[in-house]
Homo-oligomer: A and B are copies of this chain.
Amino acid sequence: MKKRPTIRDVARQAGLSISTVSLVLNNKEHVSEETRRTIQRAIDELGYHPQRSARGLASRASGNIGFLLSDEHFSQAEPFYTKIFLGTEFAARDLHYYILLTTVGRNFNAKRSVPRFLLERNVDGVIVAGKVNERLIDYIATFGIPVLLVDFEFRRKMLSSVLIDNRGGITIALDHLIALGHRDIGFIAGDIGHPSMSERHDAFRDVLASRGITPVDRFITIDAPDTDIPNGFEAARKILGGETSRPTAVVAANDAMAIGCVQYARSAGIKIPDDLSLVGFDDVELCLHTDPPLTTIRVFKEEMGRIAVQRLVDVIRSQIPAVNSTRVPVELVVRGSTQPHSVPVVAGDIGAPGLG
């Protein structure tokens, strides 16, 4: 446990002053190349690393970024937001920041349960992932530090955000199904207050219509309170369990609900993909382990985290609070849960069921 060198030691070793060392440490200008090299050599020789607390105190910047996530989102079985967090961690490392993660309850209350890193001025900016209370955002704003939303936005507020190209995802999902011959296509979603969910729903209706297919309300269920597997199961029952005709394909607003759909289908004797084609959204690991593996829309979660940190650090460093939203592209991953729609040739009725 040898005592670590300080900036003073570096200055002495280099035969220069500590302020010049500081200039070099912070990559400031007005330092001759030679001096820079001399100091760099001293730094390397001593194995010097500036101490975070001292820097923080002197510069009034903590070097930390807060990552705020709702309890519900974090404890979700599927590590969707965890992957985003991981991405922030990687980007932060490159940019010499630390990420401080904290979860917040859905019902934010400024009188209690305030993220400590705000009160202690221990973050230079905050990334908020997923759905949170609007008051929380307002509250953070009172601290005068930049905020960036990931996979969330407010209708009435101008805030920088990193978002999923939900519309693009639904578009390629539908075009995939339509190319396979499907016309009777259902849709299931939940937690429709989440922007990603409502965007996917809106896009579903718009794109379908734009392809000349009228969305059938009976095939659409979006009132589930949450987007987990049991809710997907129930939603699937509503769409597939009726007496009347049912869709030949379903788009689920996320993979968890798609898996619920798989489970319902199995319980109801509906074969995937023979009787029903199914497309999920998000591409979480679970997709790989369903039977059959799930065709889905891949979301680059880690990449979203990376971008979020880069954007936020840009704002922190430049002090320019420009508002900008980034849509991260998605891609279609075709696995086993979709196949061409086969028109029953020996069926009693004419053509495919429910074609209209």
**A57 interfacial by beta-carbon distance below 8 Å:** yes
The A25-77 residues at the B interface (CB cut-off 8 A) are 49-57, 62, 64, 74-75, 77
Given contacts A89-B103, A98-B122, A291-B266, contact A1 B144 (CB under 8 A): yes
Contact among B75, B77, B78 for A86, CB-based, below 8 A: B75
Quick one: closest B residue to A64, CB to CB?
Answer: B98
A101 at the interface (CB under 8 A from B): yes
A119 interface contact, C-beta 8 A: yes
CB of A289 within 8 A of CB of B93, answer no
Q: In the complex, which of the residues B57, B74, B116, B286 contacts A54, with contact meaning CB atoms closer than 8 Å? A: B57
Find A49's partner among B57, B96, B119 (CB 8 Å cutoff).
B119
Q: Which residues of B contact A154 (CB under 8 A)?
A: none
Alpha-carbon distance between A142 and B259 when the two chains are bound, in angstroms: 49
B62 touches A53 (CB 8 A): yes
Determine whether the beta carbon of B116 is less than 8 Å from that of A93. Answer: yes
With an 8 A cutoff between CB atoms, is A285 at the interface? yes
For A49, the chain B residues whose CB sits under 8 A away are 119-121
Q: Which of A92-135 contact B (CB under 8 A)?
A: 93, 96, 98-103, 116-117, 119-122
Q: Which residues on the B side are within 8 Å of A86 (C-beta)? A: 74-75
Residue of B nearest to A51 (CB): B121
A125 to B63, CA, bound (A): 19
CB distance from A2 to the nearest CB of B (A): 8
Q: Which 8 A-B pairs have the closest CB atoms?
A: A1-B144, A53-B56, A77-B285, A49-B119, A53-B57, A52-B122, A52-B120, A53-B53
